[in-house]
Amino acid sequence: MSIKILIVDDETNVRLNYRITLETEGYDVSEASSATVALEELVGRSFDLAILDLRMPSMDGLELLAKMREVGITVPAMIITAYSDVPHAVQAMKLGAIDFLQKPLRPDELRGIVAEILKRHAPQRDTPGDNFNSHIIAAKRCLNLRLFTTARIHLVKAMELNAKSVEAFNLAGVLSEMLDDPDKAKKYYGQAIKLDKNYEPAQQNMRRLFELQHFGASSEPFNIGGM
């Protein structure tokens, strides 16, 4: 059964570039030139992933994501942002979008994050293993689905298995942001940085939080870290 991906962007050339990049990986790719068309597609068909451009006329990607959640469409959503879109990251996170790429993006970046999201949401054939990586993947999946209590349980278990995991602390910061607690988020990001001062996802999230709180805007995209 082929993996179905919906690309939502008002620019024809952008959609074509994304389509070519993803079809070479064997994905079944569909396009929507507006949020309205995308919503019709998402209601009428089943998709494994929706790639949303945040800035579109009439209804932007954030409004589309909100509409999707309102009608019970829980398909994972990846957000493509431009420089000035970053302040909307927390709003998108609260709707379950925790994966962001910033324009201009390279084909290998797109392929990489799409593969990670699909792996994260692949059907579980049996009980997930009680190991660090399985709990990190499960935590990210739960954040996508806004299952915050379950996400917290997986993060606690991940930290029990690896008390010095920068990725687990960074994700705990993500969870705190989604729960409207930026002060706790900064503590978790800070702990990740304390463990590894070169861990870029936590550094990036800390900078973004600081800039949003002090200046109301940020040049930093949201970053959950990679596996």
Amino acid type, 5: I
Sequence-ordered list of residues with C-beta below 8 angstroms from that of 81, at least 6 positions apart, any chain:
54, 55, 88, 89, 100, 101, 102, 103, 221
Count up the domains in the chain and report the number: 2
pLDDT level of residue 128 (50, 70, 90 thresholds): low
Q: How far is CA 116 from the centre of its chain?
A: 10
Tell me: the pLDDT tens digits for 16-58?
A: 999 999 999 999 999 999 999 999 999 999 999 999 998 898 8
Angle, nearest 10°, between helix axes 35-44 and 61-70? 30
3 state SS of 96: coil
What residue numbers bound the domain in which 83 lies?
4-120
Global pTM reads 0.82
Q: 89 near 213, Cβ under 8 Å?
A: no
157 with 54, same domain?
A: no
9 with 69, same domain?
A: yes
- Final residue of a structural domain among 82, 99, 120: 120
Q: What is the mean pLDDT of residues 185-198?
A: 95
Residue 127's pLDDT is 53
Cβ neighbour number for residue 208 with a 10 Å cutoff: 23
- Final residue of a structural domain among 64, 86, 120: 120
145 with 211, same domain?
A: yes
Q: What is the mean pLDDT of residues 6-25?
A: 96
More confident residue, 81 or 172: 172
Residue 90's pLDDT is 76
Sequence-ordered list of residues with C-beta below 8 angstroms from that of 23, at least 6 positions apart, any chain:
29
